[in-house]
Structure 1
């Protein structure tokens, strides 16, 4: 019984780890599931140097999942590998409000990227620039935000990993969830009002 209790304590303590060591005397403080908005889906994990004013910029990771699925945890190990390569940057790994039958992806998801950036700007007082990195739908959202909604020109670079860049491309119509995308990707009534 004592053996299992000790194992349980180790697991609980391990899950609350506040520092991530990435080697070469580089470590990041970890804050997980921080709310950047009022919706329960608007959460992010933040990995930053102890001295937040010394960062060169912030990588903002945006997960894939066809705009209606997925989770930030899909990119956590990738974020850790990037922390080794870019120890002078902070890393934020975000969730966003997912689309479903009665909720459109856009503008909700692009608004969530704006909210996450606004939240991070308050945490980092040195006016950071951003590198948006997304896979699949997250890659599409990264590009869309950078090229259409980055009014403050905070985005320095975009990395799109297998995300669609042209939704009018004939090959995109072969996407398995194309009918969902056609009906629930963009709420044109809200986009056209902006």
Structure 2
């Protein structure tokens, strides 16, 4: 049983393993393509790119990219969490929570105010996320009703949820209509 856990910034040499991990974790290529697009996009300016190793095997990855509020020139510093991947054999063991909390702590140190995501409503509230729509935040594209509970936000700077609202924008790859049910 591997108990040695290392959580660290991703290095360029980790990229092929990160892409394969995303393929395994999500059962397809879409998230791997998303990672590649975000890492290549200067507008995404990836803020946090963390990997989690158990022993010498990559078991988890999380990426935070830059975001902003539509039409708000001097808005809050905000991020998008996408994707979060944990190897299928290690899911349900706290690795995703460890990655999410570490990424949030790093974002807070960078003076980020809010982190947004589309994610599993049974998982992300354990990591401090709440539904975003009741706080007045909308997605880049309209969401189908069944997907609305997955639209979430985490407040990193006290008062940011009550001070800001609006349409949240992201780098081009995170605004692909197919990600939003289009």
Q: TM-score, normalised by structure 2?
A: 0.37
Relative to its length, the structure with more strand (as a share) is: 2
